Amino acid sequence: MSGNSFGKMLQVMTFGESHGKAVGVVVDGVPAGLPLDEGDVQRELDRRRPGKTDVETAREERDRVQILSGVFDGETLGTPIQMLIQNEDVDSEPYEEREGKPRPGHADLTYKLKYGHVDYRGGGRSSGRETVGRVAGGAIAKKLLESEDIDVIGHTLEAAGVSLNKKVDLEEIEKNVEENAMRCADSEVAERMREAVMEAREEGDSTGGIVEVLALNVPAGLGEPVFEKLDAEIARALMSIGAVKGVEIGLGFESAGLKGSEVNDEFELGEGGIIPETNNAGGILGGISTGAPIIARMAVKPTPSISKPQQTVDLDKMEETEIELSGRHDPNICPRIVPVAENMLALLLVDMMLRSGRINPDRFGGVK
C-alpha cells in the first residue's frame, strides 16, 4: 500500500488502523510562525467525533489530539507537525466472528485480493476512522485559510431521500449547520431527514445523501492547467473520502441537460472587479478559480453496514453464506462527512495557494 499522503507543497501523511493503537497524521509544509495549539485541532476533531447523536455510530472516542512536534511556544516552527490520537473504544469482538466473510459494500474483499489478508479487527485503513488524520491536518489548513479570510463550510443537502429543496444563503448555513444532528441548513428539514434515517435504521437498513461544501473568498487564479485543474483536484480530494461515489462542481450534472445560454455565467462590472452575475460554474473556469465561491457536491452512498441479512462468501470454506452485521455503525454518514469534506478542501486550497505563490511557504506573514 502506498497512497497515504496528499498534497504537493503542503503534504499530509496519515496513518493508523481503526482497531490499532492510534491514528494520526504528519503535516509537512506549514509555514513557520502560524499561531497554533491543540485546541485549534481539537475543535475540528470534536466535530468529526462519533457518538454525539443517534444518527451516528455508538462507538465512543474522545479523540484527544497530542501535538508531538512542529509547534513550540504556541507557534509553528515550520517543521513537520505530528499529531497523534489514541484509539480507546476498540471493540474487535463483533468483527472476529465474521472473519473470512467479506461484507458487501465494504473493502474486505478488495483488501484480501490486494494484500492477501483482511485486518479482521475492523476496517483497518478502509474504516471511516482513517479520516481522523485528515481532519487533524485540515484543522491546520483551516487556520491558515482563516488568516487569509477564506472560509470553508459544508452542509447536508439531502439525506435518506429528504432534500433541502430551496436555496439557502451562507448565513443560514453558518447559523444552523452545527445546531442539528444532520448538519442541514434548515432545522425543520433536518428533523425530517433524521426521522427518515431512523426509520430505515429500524428496518436494519441504512441511507445515503448529498453533501455540499463551499469555499468563500478564494482568490482568483488557483488551479494549474491542464491536469491539475482546481476542479480536478477537488474531485480527487473529495472522491478519496470513503462512501463518496460522485462529485460535481457548480451546476454539475444539472448542466448536462441545459443550454449554453443557460449555463454560461455572464460577466458584469462590480465593485470588486469583473464578477459573474451567476455562479453556475461553481467558482471555477478553465480549471482556475474565478474569485466567486467554490461550490462542490458529493454523492454519499448508504453506509454499507446494515443488519439485514446479506449474501456473501465464506473464504475459508469457499461456499456462499449469509452475513448480518451487528457492530456499531452510522445509519447515515452525511453529517460526519461534512467536516471531513471541509477539511479535505481546506488542505487542497492551502496546497494550491502555496503552488500559486499566494502563501509564503517559509514564513507566515511573508519574508522580509
Annotated binding site for FMN: 125-127, 286, 301-305, 328
Residue 93, phi then psi, degrees to nearest 5: -55, -55
R_g of the chain computed on alpha carbons: 21
Query: Binding site residues for NADP(+), as ranges?
Result: 48
Site string for a copy of itself, 317-346 (x = CB under 8 A): -xxx--------------------------
**Cβ neighbours of residue 23 closer than 8 Å, sequence gap 6 or more:** 14, 15, 16, 17, 85, 87, 129, 130, 132, 133
Q: If DSSP states are collapsed to H, E and C, what string results for 177-196?
A: CCCCCCCCCCHHHHHHHHHH
CB of 214: closest distance to a copy of itself in angstroms?
Answer: 16
205 binds a copy of itself (CB under 8 A): yes
- Nearer Cβ to a copy of itself, position 113 or 174? 113
- Nearer Cβ to a copy of itself, position 167 or 226? 226
Q: Is the peptide bond before 26 cis (omega within 30 degrees of 0)?
A: no
Residue 70 grid cell: 512542529
- Nearer Cβ to a copy of itself, position 175 or 253? 253
52 binds a copy of itself (CB under 8 A): no
- Give how far the C-alpha of residue 78 lies from the chain's centroid of Cα atoms, to the nearest Å: 25
Interface with a copy of itself in residues 9-48 (CB under 8 A): 9-11, 13-17, 20-24, 26, 28-30, 32-33
247 binds a copy of itself (CB under 8 A): yes
Question: Which of these, 144, 164, 124, lies nearest to 7 by C-alpha position?
Answer: 144
Rounded Cα distance between 250 and 163, Å, is 18
Rounded Cα distance between 62 and 292, Å, is 37
- Nearer Cβ to a copy of itself, position 171 or 227? 227
Sole window of 38-46, 141-149, 184-192, 296-304 interacting with a copy of itself (rule: CB under 8 A): 296-304
CB of 237: closest distance to a copy of itself in angstroms?
Answer: 8
Q: Which of 257, 271, 272, 316 binds a copy of itself (CB under 8 A)?
A: 257
* Count of C-beta atoms within a 10 Å radius of residue 366: 10
CB of 187: closest distance to a copy of itself in angstroms?
Answer: 21
CA torsion angle 130 245 143 357 (round to 10)? 120
Interface with a copy of itself in residues 92-151 (CB under 8 A): 102, 104-107, 109-111, 113-117, 119, 121, 124-126, 130
Interface with a copy of itself in residues 173-192 (CB under 8 A): none
72 binds a copy of itself (CB under 8 A): yes
Give the DSSP H/E element, type plus range, for residue 334: helix 334-355
Query: Binding site residues, as ranges?
Result: 48, 125-127, 286, 301-305, 328
- Nearer Cβ to a copy of itself, position 240 or 326? 240
CB of 254: closest distance to a copy of itself in angstroms?
Answer: 8
C-alpha distance from residue 154 to each of 122, 197, 247, 345 (Å): 28, 19, 14, 10
Amino acid at position 3, single letter: G
Interface with a copy of itself in residues 218-237 (CB under 8 A): 220-221, 223-229, 231-237
316 binds a copy of itself (CB under 8 A): no
DSSP 8-state symbol, 32: B
- Nearer Cβ to a copy of itself, position 8 or 62? 8
